[in-house]
Structure formats: C-alpha cells, structure tokens
Amino acid sequence: MGIYSIKPKFQQLLSPVTSYLIRQRVHPTALNIAGLLFSLVTAACLYYSTQTPWLLVIVPIAVFIRTALNALDGQVSRSLGIASPFGEVLNEFLDRVSDAAIFFAIALLPTVDLILGSVTVIAILLNSYLSIASKAAGASRQYGGIMGKADRMIYLGLAALVVFVTSAGEFWNYFLWIILLGTLITLLTRFNKTKKELE
C-alpha cells in the first residue's frame, strides 16, 4: 500500500496543528499555496545544491512540511465545512505543479541523465492523472501502490542527505530509477484496481 496507508496516524499526530488552524479559520487554499511554496523551495535547493551543497539539508525539512500541509488541507476544509469541487481541483493542480518543479530540478542537475529525469516526471504525472481519471469515471480515487506522493517525498529527503554526506551527485540517477520503477508498478496497480471497480 505504500506510506499512504499510515496517513490516518500521521493526521492524528498533526491533530494539535489541525485544531489550531481550525480555530484560526485558516482557509485550506492558504495551505495549498504554502505547500506549493515549500515545493518551490525544495526545487531551488536541489537545483542550486551543486554550487551550495548545504542546501540539501533543507530538502528533508521542506518536503516534510509539504507532506504535512497536504495532510492538513483536507481536514481543515471538511472541519470548516468549506470543502468544494473547485478546492479539490486547485489542490490537485498545485500538487502536480509541485511534483513537476521538484523532479525537473533534479533532472536538470549536471550529474543527472536528463532523459531519465524527464521520463520520471512524465510517469509521476501520468500516475496522478490515472488516479483522478478513476474518480471521474465513477470509481474511487486511487491512492494505493508502493510509490505515492508521500513515498516520493520521504525517499527524496533521504536521497538528499545521502548526496550531501557522500558528495556523489551521480546518486540522483539511482534515485530516479527507483522512483520511476516504483511509479510504474504503482500505475499498473491503480490501473488494475480501477478496471476491477468499473467492471
């Protein structure tokens, strides 16, 4: 199932933050935008890490905050009673922009195979598209598989620390292969689940 299966426990861990945001009536769109900003910070840290290696230390922190914000926005919108179809569209769109920014930043690193990085970005976006298309066709929104958004972020944080400690920029290619293969397996898993539900 991947790391997504522990989302309820993660949300429970964040419950004090959720309660505070609800009391302050923070709009979920603000959380979506904050998640995008942290994703752009992550992308910038990755892109400039060849010149300033210590930026890689920021990556695990930024991706954790992005993941937390993604877990919080839905809870806040439902608790405040302001969940809406457009809010869901905005959330999905900003998530795709975030994913593309982060992984294209890796793809553009001088030690990384640009084709491998580009194919990985395409696979990630197709995987997300399939999940959304599944819901649009009448099945459930697909979150399963071994390489969901939270999985990617955790592995990204670990990879950034490995590169920082070892100074081996070529490691990003191995990381991208892991993400790509995991994403393709996840895509097939979600495709089969969607097919079964709709049949």
Give the model's pLDDT for residue 181. 98
Amino acid at 71: A
144 Cβ contact partners less than 8 Å away, ≥ 6 residues apart: 1, 2, 4, 186, 189, 190, 193
Q: How far is CA 156 from CA 103, 162, 197, in A?
A: 10, 10, 32
The number of CA neighbours under 13 Å toward the Cβ of 137 is 16
Amino acid at 185: I
- Chain segment 10-44, per-residue pLDDT in tens: 777 788 898 999 999 999 999 999 999 999 999 99
- Average pLDDT along the chain: 93
Percent of the chain with pLDDT over 70: 96
Q: Give me the domain span that covers residue 139.
A: 3-198
Tell me the whole-structure pTM to 2 decimals. Answer: 0.92
Neighbour-count burial of 187, counting CB atoms closer than 10 A to its CB (0-12 exposed, 13-18 middle, 19+ buried): buried
Give the model's pLDDT for residue 14. 81
CB 130 within 8 A of CB 187: yes
pLDDT at 1 over 70: no
- Chain segment 155-189, per-residue pLDDT in tens: 999 999 999 999 999 999 999 999 999 999 999 99
Measured between alpha carbons, how far is 160 from 156 in angstroms, rounded to an integer? 6
- Total domain count, the chain: 1
Give the model's pLDDT for residue 6. 67
Give the model's pLDDT for residue 147. 95
Give the model's pLDDT for residue 129. 95
Q: What's 188's domain CATH number?
A: 1.20.120.1760
